[in-house]
Chains A and B, each alone.
Chain A
């Protein structure tokens, strides 16, 4: 079970969180003309990386905040975690 550093609550076990997918995906702005390709990329197309992956988790049984987690998908190593509004350098 992963051990995730919630930026709001500290180290918590994975069973307090729910996974939310790729954090690098940006929703196209509202009311903006979006091509089929752009929309498909936003809704469906994901890279399924092996290695370092920035992903979303929600601390659903804790502070209910969505957070960003930088994790290695093959080793499960977690490098850094960020608040929802933090830009990832």
Chain B
């Protein structure tokens, strides 16, 4: 297919490299350096999509980030991405894209019937139309709206692309590489400052790529290329193209999204698709430029109507004519620049200028080129459905209220310029209170809030000479403050054509008897009439008008529509624009891929995965793992076709009858050292610690200041001033912080040091009636008899040449020991235990069996210590000292905590002794009571008791103390179960605790 609208020369594309691509299934060619938009325009394709609400045909409106229409579904390397702006997507070989929001095709779209139903779809129509009957919303309205409105389709497949995050620090961060960005970057770099210069487009230079100016006896474009080339050689400078700074956050933290691979057919190996930069800058220079705004007229959304600056960019950068019979409609001199470019390339434009008699160097040049100029003329309406064919034009009175006789002229595009809107998003996000600048009819940054300086046209300065002077000065001054260097740089001479004042005119009145749609927001289909309705219906605040009409709420965030919307509101309300105010500029400035925000923190990388030193042994022995906090722990060791239920029963039963071994490395461990260590423990735990002898362990419970149990565990006195504290796996980090808080802030007089040793020790729990015999064989030289190593005793030993710590503690309720060795020896210890244990029929057991064992013993764990229970609730009040003070003690006196019918842990057994009770079930008195059925308690943990071979659960039950023997119902609406149960003691097995002491 020929590129009929590509001129034979010029532009910055690489004409030696032809690229093929597909749009809506049809094949085309473009050149390297094209965007999808420029390549389609080169092929004369203007119809790219359908509008959001009315499904009107839409084409291209801009040439970059401001594009409201040309949003496509992109297919690349087997993946698909929605809502890609064709004006930003660079062409690559084999690119495929499709139109969105149309069915069955962009040429024939059923939804376009909305265009004829538009009187029924005014502002707020969602709120008005689809409210009744209520039940219709889910079944009929919502699915219909979702199908009819909405843009691209998100892939439901796993995203195989890689995204990276990067943290960077610099002296000056410069957003935008136009004239102001380049000048300030250059001046700052020459002063030795570390500079990051970011440009969202592939090419550096901003407006210099398209404007007809001269800097230092070179064209603007050549000057820009020279500066960039030099900056790239400087070690203190980072220049990044395809990188959009989209957010300005607190304390001069800015975030930039770098498109690393979007312009390639596929991402290179080991490269990310996108990279998100978190940049902390000492100074921020905002040189983000400005966006041309449209003038509003009838059918101004017809394909072929576009910004005059975009038409110029397509011509100068891509060598593409957006039309061969262009009409330029302007209220300022910028339109003339576009007209001159057309004329220079052999195309005759007609210029309509709303101004009566403007005079400037640019206009003189246009006149010298014999361009047809009509003053005091406007476009009343574009004509043509899928493409502009004609324009209705008319003269306009000086007060801009009266139109002359309508004339129809042929044209194939309308290039519109309503003057320029500074891009103040970043300044506003930093907290800068913007101010309205009357001369340019737009907001500019006011007083800086953070260390940000806005330069050039982003600051409302449209003269290149002034821009260069202020930007060189800013770059030099700000860097001087940081580096103390002052390398004075000569500011180059600028030759530019002076322009004249723009016309304060933004909307063409409707001719009598016509009600053309005049669009303000092109992406969300918000027309002048919608704003009028919103105001008639009483919406006043601009924020309310925005939300009611959806003005500026689309993915382009109103880059081309906001100011015209404000002008309209201020006109109807008879207020000045600054009194109306603008809506808040929130980051991101442009849509950012979710993938880039998430970065590499996906799947297993979303948090660290910690593995015990014995992990590989578990893997080799068919362990099925479970996430326990950040740890991976064996849940059970599968034999043959065993289920979780069968395996955990087997493992638990083996502990009760023989001996089992469990990896307890994950338990939190904290070394507590110092002369006041005992005093600290005494204040932290609820029970007494001052008299614990060396070589003894003690179980302790710690509270928060509000009396709620924070954690439990055993602490062992290793030597005079050295204690080894253990915490639950989940609370390890919190407990350490908790201790540090009291030591550093509350009781700094205590001479104690705490440090986490969780990863220094590997731990194995050996539990079961045969565990002592096993231990004796592991440590033949130690006296591990009941006298030599009694319950809660501690000793050190030598495990086949490896130093070991032996604690006689038990979580399973059986005779049990815990052996710790240095992590590096963990696997050795484990293998020795398994090897020696063979004689005693040892089996490893996982967390599921561990839970079974502790539940039937009534030992509490995380599901009871859930941040809502006090010691009494867990039957731990015996551990609460009445004599000494400790953290949280005063709270235990609160009336709710001392109430007679306070909740308490109980055991629960189903009456049929068969039905397992789902965890989380509610205990109620009457299963048939009307909802909400009063809840008496909840099931905190359930298991299959291996001791009695029936289901057993723990529950936290109101007035639990007096409920033993009661019959209740466990209800689980989620599992649709109602189970009659009996309340029993939580100590279901060995209630006197004889086994652990045996």
Contact = CB atoms under 8 A, between A and B. Distances in A.
A3 B251 contact: yes
Contacts of B219: none
Nearest to B886: A30
A32 to B, nearest CB: 8
B249 A20 contact: no
Interface string B717-753: 0000000000000000000010011001110100000
Given A43-B705, A64-B740, A13 B745 contact: no
B462 to A, nearest CB: 32
A80 B167 CA distance: 25
A66 B745 contact: yes
Contacts of B250: 1-3, 76
B885 interface: yes
Given A1-B249, A2-B251, A3-B253, A20 B741 contact: yes
B431 interface: yes
Contacts of B748: 84-85
B252 A3 contact: yes
A75 B431 contact: yes
Contact of B280 (A13, A44, A60, A65): A13
Interface string A64-78: 111000000001101
A87 to B, nearest CB: 12
A62 B590 CA distance: 34
A76 B449 CA distance: 12
A3 B282 CA distance: 11
A33 B249 CA distance: 47
Contacts of A79: none
A31 B740 CA distance: 21
B740 A66 contact: yes
Residue of B278, B737, B748 ringed by the most chain A CB atoms within 10 A: B737
Contacts of B741: 20, 58, 66
A64 B730 CA distance: 19
B891 interface: yes
A1 B745 contact: no
B890 interface: yes
Given A58-B740, A66-B740, A31 B885 contact: yes
B414 to A, nearest CB: 46
A58 to B, nearest CB: 6
A20 B167 CA distance: 25
A18 interface: yes
Contacts of A3: 250-253, 280
Chain B interface size, as a band, is: 20 to 34
Interface string A25-61: 0011011001000010011100000000000101010
Nearest to A67: B744
A42 B706 CA distance: 10
A18 B737 contact: yes
B683 interface: yes
Nearest to B748: A85
Nearest to A38: B890
Interface in A11-26: 13, 18, 20
Contacts of A76: 250-251
A74 to B, nearest CB: 11
A28 B746 CA distance: 10
Contact of A43 (B253, B706, B737, B746): B706
Interface string B869-904: 000000000000000110000110000000000000
Contacts of A28: 890
Interface string B243-281: 000000111110000000000000000000000001010
B744 A39 contact: no
A37 B748 CA distance: 26
A39 B889 CA distance: 11
B930 to A, nearest CB: 35
Nearest to A56: B745
Nearest to B889: A30
Contacts of B251: 1-3, 76, 78
Nearest to B737: A58
B683 A43 contact: no
Interface string B767-780: 00000000000000
A40 B34 CA distance: 68
Contacts of B737: 18, 58, 60
Nearest to A23: B745
Contacts of B249: 1
B278 A1 contact: yes
Contacts of B884: 31
A10 B892 CA distance: 41
Contacts of A75: 431
A56 B744 CA distance: 12
B746 A27 contact: yes
Contacts of A39: 890-891
B278 to A, nearest CB: 7
A30 B250 CA distance: 40
A65 B253 CA distance: 24
Nearest to B167: A13
Contacts of A85: 744, 748
Interface string B131-170: 0000000000000000000000000000000000001000
Contacts of A66: 740-741, 744-745
A58 B252 CA distance: 22
B739 to A, nearest CB: 11
Contacts of B705: 27, 42-43
A64 B670 CA distance: 14
A12 to B, nearest CB: 10
Contacts of A30: 683, 885
B721 to A, nearest CB: 21
Nearest to B255: A1
A63 to B, nearest CB: 11
Nearest to A65: B744
B885 A43 contact: no
A43 B891 contact: yes
A13 B885 CA distance: 38
A83 B382 CA distance: 69
A13 B890 CA distance: 37
Given A1-B249, A13-B253, A58-B741, 9 more contacts: A1-B278, A20-B741, A27-B705, A31-B885, A39-B890, A44-B706, A65-B740, A66-B741, A84-B745
10 contacts: A1-B250, A3-B251, A13-B280, A20-B741, A30-B683, A30-B885, A31-B884, A31-B885, A42-B705, A76-B250
The list of the 3 closest CB pairs from A to B, nearest first, reads A3-B251, A84-B744, A30-B885
Interface of B: 167, 249-253, 278, 280, 431, 683, 705-706, 737, 740-741, 744-746, 748, 884-885, 890-891
